[in-house]
Amino acid sequence: MRAFLLTEDKDESPTPLLKALAQGLGNYRNIEDEIHRCIIGEGEVADNASAELQRLRKMIKTIQSRVREKLEAIIRSPEKQKYLQEALVTVRGDRYVVPVRQEYRSQIPGLIHDQSASGATVFIEPMAVVELNNDLKRYQAAEKTEILRILQVLSEQVGQESEDIAVTVNILARLDFIFAKARLSQRMDGGEPAINQSGYLTIRSGRHPLITGKVVPVSIELGKKFHTLVITGPNTGGKTVTLKTVGLLTLMAQSGLHVPAEPGTELAIFEEIFVDIGDEQSIEQSLSTFSSHMTNLVQILERTGPNSLVLLDELGAGTDPTEGAALAQSMLEYLHQRGAKTIATTHYSELKTFAYTSEEIENASVEFDIETLSPTYRLLIGRPGRSNAFEISRRLGLNESIVVRARSLLTQDERNVANLIEHLEANQVQAQKEREEALRLRQEAEELRRKLDQREKAWREKEDKILQKARDEAYNIVKAAKEESDSIVRDLREAMKRLPVKEELIKAEKERNQLRQMQDAITGQRLKKDEKAEKSLKSVKIGQAVYVPRLHQKGSVLTLPNNQGDLQIQAGILKLTVNIKELEAAQEEKEQKGKTTYAAVASSKAKEISRELDFRGTTVDEAMEQVAKYLDDAYLTGTSPVYLIHGKGTGALRSAIRSYLKNHQYIKSFRNGEQGEGGLGVTVVELKS
């Protein structure tokens, strides 16, 4: 454990507290090795634990062998065999004996050590081995003494380190507890929550740690916008489980445990947590349901403070509904005034209205599916719950006239509250759907933008590699030609000394000069590229005027570069994504009146672009890059229609291109080529103006 935790890493240790604990672990390898050398098997002392023990055990084996030899001689003797019950050597009282028939015991002189239960057999130690057995007993006693001495020496070695060993055992216990907490976190898929001392909590998809199987997570917050939460809803809907989940997760976090909740969960450190859940009525103590709850609540109200968490289940239950609701409201007001963070469950409609009309007090409910008559166990904050008694009764077959009469017995205020809750439910469900749809669309847009950025970056890198490779190949060709021409010239000069080849030499010199000019031109291009790299900007500011040589375009910076150096600029009416390496500082010059840079770019591209793009023989990825660039240029120059030549082949290119065109923002329509246009091997594309 010590070696594992104190292994030196190049990076800073991510577990400094564990390393600090490991520093206190002792290393007792010498004692361990000595114990392992002396003790083998299940508490057996090894022969080589000491030289004396080895000598004693050797002597014991020798004596045992001599005793057995003498006894074997007796039981094999034909004269003695008739006196024996069995021809075998056995042990009684750590002494070797032979079984003799009772009536012949006088025929085998020796000491009787035992007899059988029937009395027919006596176990006699023959006189011939008595002395040897005495020697054996002495050596066995000496062996025990030596073993005790060895164990005493080992115990003294442990005793000398006993204090340090006790510290090590305590540290190992702490480490074992830490790893047990980690294993628990792994088993319940827990995570480290953020911790605050401001008294607010936010639980994201928290799960009750003791519920197995499929668990509906609960998301809840308390302490920021509101300090008191009143949860309403039908029975078995999950109100009590929500209370217990909040309490357990808070206690787990304060105990240093991970909690089964999603990232973003933040829990507070409370001085005290008060809970009143369940029914503790007692006939023996004359406590009713209401009395048992009230006994707990009296103690809670006396001790609660601003740094307390209070969890109350079925507040005000067990008594007259009107008085119970009034009493529950009064207690919630008191807890709120004391600054406590409170979550209470109830069935009283009066508390729903109280939560609506009070500052920093909020309603919540557990959702109930009217269609299936079953709870969904989802907690909805900001929306009170309904008992749904009328709807459930009607669906279960209660006479409609009874349900109508029951509704009429409600007061106008109660009906108004019910209608308000129903209206809020509908609005909240619609808002939730719209929020989820907006989130989905945003994620799709971000994913599409990421893919486009990756594709543009890959295309730009590929373009740079192709251009650089072409320059290098041209340079190498010219260099090889120059070297060859130099060699020819040298040969001709040598030949001049012997032959009249002046004209040939002049011609070769001319060719050499031409090659040198070509090489200088390519070298100049390289120098130009290096100069261009030197001119490129290293950093930019928002709004800075820049120049893009590749597009012969000026613009202003809209965004700062990302990690890859890509940024956006505004060039006329266009927003372009370029790399900072492509930018140069813009030179101030007067624009020609009535002529825009956009027109210049469009005019330049219009001269170069063809109405046809032939990409037969390419892979799908290569074709996509070519088509994307070609369509951008065609749209910029207003060229339409255009002809994408992909060939017939297996149809893979055609299918991929058409799937791409369906979602392209510049495309107005596309179709197969007609008879004179290439048929199925061509796709004709109409671009938007």
Nearest to 582 by CA among 571, 592, 590: 571
Does 419 carry a binding-site annotation? no
Q: How far apart are CA 284 and CA 44, in angstroms?
A: 60
Amino acid letter for position 308 = S
DSSP-based three-state secondary structure for 189: coil
Does 322 carry a binding-site annotation? no
Sheet containing strand 266-268, edge to edge, reads 194-196, 266-268, 201-206, 218-222
Does 250 carry a binding-site annotation? no
Strand partners of residue 352: none
- Residues 232/345, Cβ–Cβ less than 8 Å: yes
Does 416 carry a binding-site annotation? no
User: Which H/E stretch holds residue 640?
Assistant: none
Token readout for 651 is: 């149809």
Does 647 carry a binding-site annotation? no
Angle between the N-to-C axes of helices 321-337 and 349-357, in degrees from 0 to 180, rounded to the nearest 10: 30
DSSP-based three-state secondary structure for 602: helix
Does 234 carry a binding-site annotation? yes
Q: How far apart are CA 456 and CA 438, in angstroms?
A: 27
Buried b (16+ CB within 10 A) or exposed e, 117-156: eeeebbbbbbeebeebbebbeebbebbeebbeebbeebee
Does 469 carry a binding-site annotation? no
Burial of 474 (0-12, 13-18, 19+ CB in 10 A): middle
Nearest to 169 by CA among 28, 319, 286, 318: 28
Does 235 carry a binding-site annotation? yes
Q: How far apart are CA 678 and CA 680, in angstroms?
A: 7
Point out the annotated binding site for ATP.
233-240
Point out the annotated binding site.
233-240
